[in-house]
Amino acid sequence: MKLLRYGPAGAEKPGMIDADGVLRDLSGQIDDLNGANLSDAALAKLAALDPTSLPAVEGSPRIGPCVGDIGKFMCIGLNYSDHAAETGATLPEHPILFMKANSAIVGPNDTVVMPRGSTMTDWEVELGVVIGKTAKYVSKENALDHVAGYCVVNDVSERHFQKHLSGNWTKGKSCDTFGPTGPWMVTRDEIPDPQALDMSLDVNGQRMQTGNTSTMIFSVAEIIEHLSHLFTLHPGDVIATGTPPGVGLGMKPPTFLKDGDVMEVHINGLGTQTQNVKADS
């Protein structure tokens, strides 16, 4: 299933994309697509519905973040061997974890606003993992059983804030609008192997990133195992699992976003995001 949220920011409704690409309203079935409605049992009830029995949504409403009330927005850094190489970084021994503030989360096609003083705003296409079942001390062998589904994330980053304002990476990762998520969550039954997904990111129609989740240093299952041994993962938590090569920081010379740019972010099977970039006044 392709499950999403649509409508004005802060007032999104749950929806489903049917086999013909029609957006169907789910608000008569669930109040939101959030942690309370991401269990295997809850998703099975939605899967059993006849989509044609659900109201079709007219027009072209805004698409919101595909998960509501996200608990933790966790991100894994330097998790692609080819991306680590382009930045000159040593391969990590364990998954590098940082958190992105939930206030950064926006819809997949919402405007990305570069904060005042930004000179190094960068792009990062990432596979997002949505937790559907509480995970504590799980093994990699059963880790994927705790996943509700997968989505596209653009881990927008301000590199000067990240690297030069003292402290950890969170400063450069948590600016408002720096977490476009969606357009929809694809349930895990439709993604048999999360380590075989092509991904790309274009800026102004020029291909910047091309990669595949097969080059992850730590697989989705290994990430879930590692994190669940540190703290409990709850339904509705989201993990952004790292980015392939082609970020602006790794270019020679480094190249960053500017006012008026357009990003197109894509993962096969999970959909496409399109964001206009605006400088904050």
Q: What is the per-residue pLDDT for 89?
A: 73
Flag whether 249 is in a domain: yes
Domain identity same for 121 and 250: yes
Looking up tokens 């992105």 gives: 100
Other Cβ atoms within 10 Å of 189 Cβ, number: 12
Looking at the structure, tell me whether residues 110 and 229 fall in a common domain: yes
Bridge partner residues of 216 (DSSP): 80
Cα gap 28→38, rounded to integer Å = 16
Contact 64, 107 (CB under 8 A): yes
Decide if 208 is inside a domain: yes
**Residue 264 has what pLDDT?**
98
pLDDT in tens, 10-21: 999 999 999 999
CA distances from 18 to 24, 91, 165 (A): 7, 42, 46
Number of domains in the chain: 2
Q: What is the pLDDT of residue 84?
A: 73
pLDDT given at position 2: 98
Q: How far is CA 156 from the centre of its chain?
A: 11
Residues recorded for the chain: 281
Residue 81, pLDDT score? 84
Domain contains 231: yes
155 and 262 both lie in a single domain = yes
Which residue range(s) make up the domain with 35? 2-53
140 and 27 belong to one structural domain: no
Q: Is 26 helix (H, G, I), strand (E, B) or coil?
A: coil
Residue 85 is predicted with a pLDDT of 74
Residues 46 and 140 in one domain: no
pLDDT value, residue 137: 98
For residues 221 and 259, state if they share a domain.
Answer: yes
Spans of the chain below 70 pLDDT:
none
pLDDT in the model for residue 169: 81
CATH number at residue 113: 3.90.850.10
